[in-house]
Amino acid sequence: MIQEVGVIGAGTMGFGIAFQFITNGTKVILQDINEQSLNLVEDKLNQYLKIYKEEGFTFKETDKQILNLLTLTTHIEDLSNCDLVIESATESLQLKQQIFKQLDELCNEHTILTSNTSSLKLSDIVKDVDKHRERVMLTHFFNPAHIVPLVELLRAPDTSDEVFKTVKEFMETMKKVTIEVRKEVPGLVANRIQVALAREALSLLEDGVVSEEDLEDAIFAGPGFRFSSSGLLKIMDFGGLDVWAIVLEQLQSKIESEVRAFPSLRNKVSVGNLGVKSSKGYFEYPGKGLDEYVIERDRSLIQQLKTFEKLKGGLTNA
């Protein structure tokens, strides 16, 4: 049973993972080598507790009790007795290999070790783990990790069934929706789908089929709107599989399948229009800083979470 979790890396993802667990009653030790990252955690935590409540969520524990479930540290050794350690440090293969090797040496035999990597191969990260290879696996969260429900699970070559089951059950107790990725493929499942969508959308933009504003509406008010109530296969079931079979037959060969460059995207990057963080990307974000825009986005995602929980039935953040 998982009672105490170590999280390595107190950045964007590590914060969200820690928040999700402590607000669901689990003790967390959040570790970072950078004290500045740790110094930001308490204010951010209080800010999100307030926002969740303003958006109608309730927590079983008081704010003080929730805060008491969190310990901050710069020492990785403090995680040695945790039941689960989730590595969510900077995306670098060498760094993650070194962290896993160190955790394998210092943690108790029963401690499960997982990585939250987005783009690196799990089998490469755990290559040098030799003491307990059965206890390592991948738990891939989505940003913001305390709001987006999905966690993708992937076994490493030697992960035991028991370890996989324990992690899956724990994530579900923490109000996450898990999926099992059955093969180690780059991008796992959800990011591959997102990249496929981006390829087609950018291709339509590049070819002058649609404006940026209209492309945004096409996705947000069309497929995106339907996706807020179900996944793809149910949409296909409702549309009729005979209909979808014809649509796929007609359109599959016509949509973008090339690996092509998107000069409009590259040009924006080369002049420093990087999106919200530089106040301009495809659209403009004047007057407020990145943090304020992120909070606005998160508020609307938290509202979306309420609808999602109703649809999923019984999944509540309280």
Task: Point out which residues bind ligand NAD (CB under 6 A).
Answer: 8-14, 31-34, 37, 88-91, 95, 99, 116-118, 141, 143
Q: How far is the CB of 152 from ligand NAD (least distance, A)?
A: 9
Q: Among all chains, which residue has been given the structure tokens 């090339």? A: 258
Q: How far is the CB of 50 from ligand NAD (least distance, A)?
A: 22
Q: How far is the CB of 44 from ligand NAD (least distance, A)?
A: 12
How many angstroms separate the CA atoms of 129 and 182, rounded?
21
How many angstroms separate the CA atoms of 243 and 252, rounded?
14
Q: How far is the CB of 15 from ligand NAD (least distance, A)?
A: 8
Of 93 and 218, which CB lies nearer to ligand NAD in the complex structure? 93
Q: How far is the CB of 34 from ligand NAD (least distance, A)?
A: 4
- DSSP state letter for 69: T
Q: Among all chains, which residue has been given the structure tokens 């087609």? A: 200
Contact 137, 159 (CB under 8 A): yes
Of 190 and 315, which CB lies nearer to ligand NAD in the complex structure? 190
Of 95 and 215, which CB lies nearer to ligand NAD in the complex structure? 95
Which of 75, 110, 132, 140 does the annotation list as catalytic?
140
The closest alpha carbon to 73, from 27, 132, 141, 131, belongs to 27
At residue 191, what is the residue type? N
What ranges in the chain are assigned the alpha helix state H?
12-22, 35-39, 41-54, 63-68, 93-106, 122-125, 161-173, 190-206, 212-220, 223-227, 232-239, 241-251, 263-270, 290-312
Of 66 and 151, which CB lies nearer to ligand NAD in the complex structure? 151
179 three-state secondary structure:
strand
How many angstroms separate the CA atoms of 215 and 291, rounded?
26
Q: How far is the CB of 111 from ligand NAD (least distance, A)?
A: 16
Of 95 and 218, which CB lies nearer to ligand NAD in the complex structure? 95
Active site residue 140: yes
Of 76 and 254, which CB lies nearer to ligand NAD in the complex structure? 76
What ranges in 146-289 are assigned the alpha helix state H?
161-173, 190-206, 212-220, 223-227, 232-239, 241-251, 263-270
How many angstroms separate the CA atoms of 73 and 38, rounded?
8
User: For 35, phi and psi rounded to 5 degrees?
Assistant: -60, -30
Residues involved in catalysis = 140
